[in-house]
Structure 1
Amino acid sequence: MQNLITEALYLILILSAPMLLAAIGTGLLISIFQATTQIQEQTLSFVPKIIATFVAVIWAGPRIATELEQFMVKVFGDISQMGPG
């Protein structure tokens, strides 16, 4: 059971990384742009991060689905091997 929880947490970190990195990278670029141009519009940083995250979801979606499918097959296989009580 401990191994399963560890694998689940590791999978969460790996699968969420593309979206997090896209949002962080976009936010950093927008912050640099805002600092150099002295534009302090809040929507200027919010909308590009949403778009970048959405693109990352579309780009990483097939891999995420495959990894989750493999993990669930493993989980159900482990559950079927457990005996009652």
Structure 2
Amino acid sequence: MNAQLVLTLGQEALLMLLMVSAPVLGVALVVGLLVSLFQAVTQIHEATLAFVPKLVAVIAVFAIAGPWMLTVLVEYLKRTIEAIPSMVA
């Protein structure tokens, strides 16, 4: 196993992490922005008002995109584990 292979595996892992976490982070960002805008307009500054909608949105995204996320991660791990013999030899 050479340094180039290790760097390639790390790059693939980081790309996979970004791809799988993007839907959750994107929805949390948009909901947080909308809640902050609502708080600024109405001048209601309640901590739970910022937390609960984000929590509900993230749970909804996990419910909708969870199977896809799990499939992508399992396929990546399967490819990586199957490639171990060729990396070692």
Give the alignment's TM-score, normalised by structure 2: 0.88
Out of 65, 70, 73, which is 1:60 matched to?
Answer: 65
* Two-structure CA RMSD over aligned residues (Å): 1.1
Give the alignment's TM-score, normalised by structure 1: 0.92
Tell me, yes or no, if structure 1 residue 83 matches structure 2 residue 88: yes
1:83, distance to aligned residue in structure 2 (A):
3.1
Equivalent residue number for residue 3 of structure 2: none
The higher-RCO structure (CA 8 Å, 6+ apart) is 2
**Paired residue total:** 84
Equivalent residue number for residue 36 of structure 1: 41
Equivalent residue number for residue 28 of structure 2: 23
Structure 2 gaps of 5+ residues are: 1-5
Structure 1 gaps of 5+ residues are: none
Tell me, yes or no, if structure 1 residue 11 matches structure 2 residue 20: no
Once the two structures are superposed, what CA deviation does each residue of 1:48-79 show, in whole Å capped at 9, x if it has no partner?
A: 11111111111111111111111011111111
Identity of aligned pairs, percent? 42
